[in-house]
């Protein structure tokens, strides 16, 4: 299944996915000071499936940055934008043109364990002054919940990907 989007088409897809990610992250997530459960990963995973690692990383990083500037929850912290960028890279590496169950599980495990659990917990400890190890137990619970959500929802999304690839021919 080859995806050859024109440059304009790619930019439009990226902008739409970015907007959806901002809405899902800023308005449709459950958040506490050190926990966040939401669906903002879906547009990033879709960008990874359709466009590859670098475009998915750009979508994720710009969505994080613009969301923080336009709809701040707290002060902007670039560490979270770096994590978003790496999440996009991982989704693209695992899911681009190969969103089978094995790769969906690997994408979810890598983004949640490395990016969310380790990196974001570290960033939270840096900005809050709380101990990384004290934050870890509640963050492990969030990670476990999100791994299950991601695997189920990305699998559903991957089922629609072949239809989305056909949009390029329209």
- CATH number for 83: 1.10.1760.20
pLDDT score at 166? 58
- Angle separating helix axes 101-110 and 78-95, nearest 10 degrees: 160
Calculate ∠ Cα 73-74-80, nearest 5°. Answer: 90
Confidence check: pLDDT of 170 > 60: no
Please provide the average confidence, as pLDDT, over all residues in the chain: 90
Confidence check: pLDDT of 6 > 50: yes
Query: Which residue range(s) make up the domain with 140?
Result: 7-167
Compute the distance between CA of residue 86 and CA of residue 101 in angstroms, rounded to an integer.
21
pLDDT score at 14? 96
Work out whether strand 30-31 and strand 36-37 pair parallel, antiparallel, or are unpaired: antiparallel
What is the tens place of the pLDDT at every residue in 63-99? Answer: 999 999 999 988 899 999 999 999 999 999 999 988 8
pLDDT score at 53? 97
* Residue 132 placed within a domain: yes
Number of compact structural domains in the chain: 1
Residue 152: closest CA among 63, 39, 21, 60: 39
pLDDT score at 160? 80
* Residue 2 placed within a domain: no
Confidence check: pLDDT of 35 > 90: no
Stretch 103-108: mean pLDDT, rounded?
A: 97
* Residue 136 placed within a domain: yes
Share of the chain above pLDDT 90, in %: 75
Please report which confidence band the pLDDT of residue 165 belongs to, taking 50, 70 and 90 as the band edges.
Answer: low
Q: Comparing 134 with 161, which gets the higher pLDDT? A: 134
pLDDT score at 2? 45
């Amino acid at each position: 299944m080859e995806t050859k989007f024109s440059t304009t088409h790619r930019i439009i897809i990226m902008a739409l996915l970015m907007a959806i990610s901002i809405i899902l992250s800023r308005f449709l997530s459950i958040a506490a000071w050190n926990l966040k459960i939401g669906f903002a990963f879906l547009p990033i995973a879709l960008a990874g499936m359709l466009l590859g690692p670098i475009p998915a990383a750009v979508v994720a990083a710009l969505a994080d940055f613009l969301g923080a500037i336009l709809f701040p929850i707290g002060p902007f912290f670039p560490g979270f934008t770096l994590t978003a960028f790496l999440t996009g890279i991982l989704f693209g590496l695992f899911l681009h043109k190969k969103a089978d169950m094995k790769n969906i599980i690997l994408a979810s495990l890598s983004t949640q364990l490395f990016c969310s659990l380790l990196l974001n917990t570290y960033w939270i400890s840096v900005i809050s002054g709380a101990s990384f190890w004290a934050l870890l137990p509640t963050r492990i619970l969030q990670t476990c919940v999100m791994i299950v959500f991601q695997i189920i929802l990305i699998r559903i999304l991957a089922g629609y990907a072949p239809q989305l690839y056909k949009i390029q021919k329209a």
